[in-house]
Each structure stands twice: as C-alpha cells, then as structure tokens.
C-alpha cells in the first residue's frame, strides 16, 4: 500500500515538491488504545541519488525523492535503540519543572520549537550535574530516554555541558584556524535567549581560546577503546560534529566566545574495505563517500592539522554497538556508522554506537579533481539576519 505525504506547503526544506515525497505502508496499520507509536523511517538509499558526475569544483551532484516507510512502533520497557523505542542525543532547553522529578524540554526545530514531557527515576544517569535538583528552567541538556506509551520520555541519561549557558549551537566544524583560536561551524541546531526562532541559518565563527573542551557522555565505553580518545584545541579537525555554549550572541558580538566545546556523535556513510581485531573491538577500515565533510574540508589554508587519510575512518565496534544493518558488516558493504569521531595523531577513528544500511556512492574523484578541489578561495560574507542577528555566508570559489 502506498500513500502520499500530506503537506499544505509548496515545498519542504529541501525544496522537494510534496508530490515527490512517498510514504509506504508495508502492511495495514490498526490503531489501538488511546495512543500508539508509529515509526516513520526514511529509506535513504531510495531517497537520495548521487551522480557520478562532478561540478567544476569537484562536488558530486544529487537528486532527492524522499521515501518513507510508516510502521507501528513496538515500545520496549528497556529499549536499546530507535527500533524498540529509545531516543538518543536529544538537545533542548528546560522550560518548566514538574512534580516527581519531571520537566518539559523544548526541542529546536527549523519550523519552531516543540515540547516533550520528560520524567526521571533512580536509574537516570546525570552527567555534568550531580542530580535532578540541578536541573532548572533555562538549563540546556543533552539526553537519552525511553519513549513512553503517552509520547513522553523516561530519561536514562541527562547531560549538562554548561549550567551557565544562555545559547547552544550544534553542527559540523567547517574550518579550524588555531593561529587565531577561531573555528567556523555550520549550526544545524541553535537555541537560546538570543534567538526568537530556533534556526537563523548561515555559518558562524567562534573564538575558542578559553573554551573548556569536552567529549559527549552518550557512549559509555570510551575507557575501553584501544586508543586514547581525545578532543582538544590542537587536534580538532573540520568535519567533526561539535556543540558549543556561550554567554551572549548578538550583532554587536560577531564572533561569540565559546565557554565549552563538546565533541558529539555524528553519522558517516562509507564502504568497508578491511577489518581486524583489537582487544574487545573489531576495527573496520571505512572508505568515505566523496561528499563527506572530512575529505571535502581537509587541508585548508591556515590549518596546520593534517589528516593522514581524510577519506578513511577506522570504525570500532564492540558488544555495545547496536547493529541495525541488514547488509553484512564485511568488506564491500556500504553502511552508515553513528558515533564519536576522533583525530588520533592524524588518523580518524570512530567509537561506533550504531550501524545501519548505507547509501551507495560513486568512487572518490580522480587525483586531478582532488587537486582541483583543494585550489579554492574561502570568503565569508556577513549580513544581518532575522532578529538583528548576524549571519555568515561562506563562499568557496574555484581558483585557476
């Protein structure tokens, strides 16, 4: 059975017409009780097609025909992943404190903030704060939780990166300039007192000379890795997913000063080319898609940090990793890996939390194309955005 996604707008955020969006119902859905869970899964391999052709700047072209499966979601009392009812890495601001150690969390969204009710119990793990008593209105949290039958969440982990933060930004680094202690990033999420809406758009530059560097506590096995996981001012690289907090952000302060810089999980898409055993982990050498940010943004002028091979990531899988893939986790398979990516003396290594089926892609561009891609000039253009907040538009132009 097939149905079309209902949408009264002309286009969605990708610029795709509603008529191009398909929602499949693999089997009839019977609604039971006062509420029930539904899983709307994006079928990535059917939704995005990347061409073997490249633009003059070496960027692969793509087309999007979003396709989803809509199925009932069976909630487990102790879920371990999204398939059985676990939500991970939710970032939001506490807007109300309820009774019995509960609170309301406002989640940033391009269409406007949305709220979810959160409860906690004696099994909730707190990171960055001692216990629930430190949670207050205005606190920004990163949390995991079990989806309840009424749509609320039972928190399994509540992390506070910076109790004093007034704004939080999260997204990939796109340029690192240690000589002046400035990074550029593209906030995919931003929230705080300086934002009327949750998303203003554009990249921003951040001063990090006094920042406290941290690693997300979402993965609990960092101490068991066969390498020393590290994230600091000297080894961060473009492509890593980071969140930072600040004390103020406005037109009069074009470069906010980061209070904290936290490495957060991200997803990479790549093909397994080799594997080996290292302690309790299996290490998979993964060749990235050419459009991945690590190869795209490597070797920029002003960044002395050089990756040995930005087109490859060593992915570490252990018994904690959720294997949701139907393809074999073996050489030749293209998969998506979710976890924390570290720069270990020039080698990119991921502590992997989850594996899903990936999206096939064309091989890396030729050496001539890669050389051509590196010959580019980067220019930032600043303009005043909505609510009198600064936006930065990054322009990369091909050099002769």
Domains 82-159 and 267-367 are alike in CATH topology: yes
Q: What is the pLDDT, as a whole number, of residue 385? A: 38
CATH classification number, 167-264, choose in 2.60.120.460, 2.40.50.140, 3.40.50.970, 3.40.190.10: 2.40.50.140
Please report, for residues 23, 72, 83, 172, 356, the alpha-carbon distance to residue 26 in angstroms, rounded to integers and kept in the order given: 10, 10, 16, 35, 20
Q: What helix, strand, coil percent values describe the chain, rounded to 5?
A: 10, 45, 45
Q: What is the pLDDT, as a whole number, of residue 393? A: 40
Q: State how far the Cα of 379 lies from the Cα of 288, in Å rounded to an integer.
A: 27
Q: State how far the Cα of 2 lies from the Cα of 189, in Å rounded to an integer.
A: 32
What are the beta bridge partners of residue 192? Answer: 167
Enumerate residues 6+ apart whose C-beta is below 8 A from 155.
Answer: 118, 119, 120, 124, 143, 144, 145
What are the beta bridge partners of residue 258? Answer: 246
Query: What's the alpha-carbon Rg for the chain, to the nearest Å?
Result: 21
- 267-367: what CATH class? mainly beta
**Successive 10-residue mean pLDDT values, the chain, 400 residues:** 33 67 92 84 79 61 87 91 92 95 90 89 96 96 94 96 92 92 90 66 86 96 96 95 88 82 97 96 96 87 80 97 96 97 97 93 53 41 37 39
**What's the fold here for domain 82-159?**
OB fold (Dihydrolipoamide Acetyltransferase, E2P) (2.40.50)
Q: What is the pLDDT, as a whole number, of residue 391? A: 39
Where are the domains positioned within the chain? Answer: 2-73, 82-159, 167-264, 267-367
Q: What is the pLDDT, as a whole number, of residue 9? A: 37
């Amino acid at each position: 059975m097939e149905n079309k996604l209902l949408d009264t707008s002309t286009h969605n955020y990708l610029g795709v017409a509603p008529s191009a969006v398909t929602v499949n119902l693999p089997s009839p859905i019977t609604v039971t009780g006062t509420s029930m869970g539904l899983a709307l899964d994006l079928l990535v391999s059917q939704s995005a097609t990347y061409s073997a052709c490249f633009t003059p700047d070496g960027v692969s072209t793509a087309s999007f025909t979003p396709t989803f499966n809509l199925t009932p979601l069976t909630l487990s009392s102790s879920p371990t992943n999204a398939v059985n009812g676990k939500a991970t890495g939710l970032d939001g601001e506490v807007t109300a404190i309820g009774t019995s150690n509960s609170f309301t969390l406002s989640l940033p969204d391009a269409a406007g903030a949305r709220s979810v009710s959160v409860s906690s119990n004696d099994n909730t793990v707190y990171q960055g704060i001692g216990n629930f008593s430190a949670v207050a209105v205005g606190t920004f949290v990163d949390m995991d939780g079990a989806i309840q039958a009424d749509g609320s969440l039972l928190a399994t982990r509540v992390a506070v990166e910076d109790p004093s933060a007034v704004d939080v930004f999260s997204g990939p680094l796109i340029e690192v300039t240690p000589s002046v202690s400035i990074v550029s990033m593209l906030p995919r999420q931003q929230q705080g007192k300086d934002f009327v809406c949750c998303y203003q758009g554009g990249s921003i530059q951040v001063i990090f000379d006094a920042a406290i560097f941290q690693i997300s506590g979402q993965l609990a096995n960092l101490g068991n890795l066969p390498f020393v996981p590290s994230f600091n001012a000297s080894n961060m690289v473009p492509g890593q997913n980071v969140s930072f907090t600040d004390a103020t952000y406005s037109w009069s302060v074009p470069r906010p000063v980061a209070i904290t810089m936290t490495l957060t999980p991200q997803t990479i898409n790549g093909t397994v080319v080799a594997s080996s055993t290292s302690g309790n982990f299996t290490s998979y050498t993964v060749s990235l898609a050419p459009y991945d940010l690590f190869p795209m943004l490597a070797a920029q002028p002003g960044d002395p940090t050089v990756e040995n091979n930005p087109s490859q990531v060593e992915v570490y899988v252990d018994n904690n990793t959720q294997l949701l893939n139907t393809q074999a986790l073996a050489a030749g398979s293209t998969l998506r890996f979710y976890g924390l990516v570290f720069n270990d003396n020039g080698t990119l290594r991921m502590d992997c939390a989850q594996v899903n089926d990936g999206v096939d892609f064309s091989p890396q561009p030729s050496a001539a194309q890669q050389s051509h891609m590196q010959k580019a000039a980067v220019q930032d253009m600043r303009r005043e955005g909505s609510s009198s907040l600064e936006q930065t538009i990054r322009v990369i132009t091909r050099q002769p």
